[in-house]
Amino acid sequence: QVPLVESGGGLVQAGGSLRLSCAASGRTLSSSAMGWFRQGPGKEREFVAAISWNGGITEYAESVKGRFTISRDNAKNTVYLQGNSLKPEDTAIYYCAADPHTSWAPVRLSEYVYWGQGTQVTVSS
């Protein structure tokens, strides 16, 4: 088990920015692909962004491309999601996830093994 803890969520006005963090304890994430997913009210959990173990490969959902940036600091065992130009439709619970078996940046929810509890992001119009 790899406990993942998200932080940085909150309430922000449309057009604003937030930076989410995902930290692991008890095990290093440096060899794991990492992803961010989100689940809006009444919606299924969907892919947002992913990053390979060394940061060399990143993937983004079309809905966030150009506005969100995923990054990682393996020395701090932490992954980040910077969201800019936020829209009300970005309102969701954001989850980070780890896949220790993959060297690239998976986009499918089913590929991820470990999950955090989520952090709420609310974007007001």
pLDDT tens per residue, range 77-119: 999 999 999 999 999 999 999 998 988 999 999 999 999 999 9
Nearest to 56 by CA among 109, 114, 105, 111: 105
Q: Are 31 and 49 in contact (CB under 8 A)?
A: no
Q: Which two tokens stand for residue 89?
A: 């439709």
What b/e string do you get for 66-94 counting C-beta neighbours within 10 Å, with b at 16 or more? eebbbebeeeebbbbbebeebeeebbbbb
| Partners of residue 39 on adjacent β-strands | 93
- Spatial contact of 18 and 11, defined as CB atoms under 8 Å apart: no
What CA–CA distance (Å, rounded) separates 69 from 57?
12
Query: What pLDDT does 68 receive?
Result: 98
Q: Which two tokens stand for residue 71?
A: 């990054």
Rounded to an integer, the average pLDDT of 64-80 is: 96
Of residues 26 and 89, more confidently modeled: 89
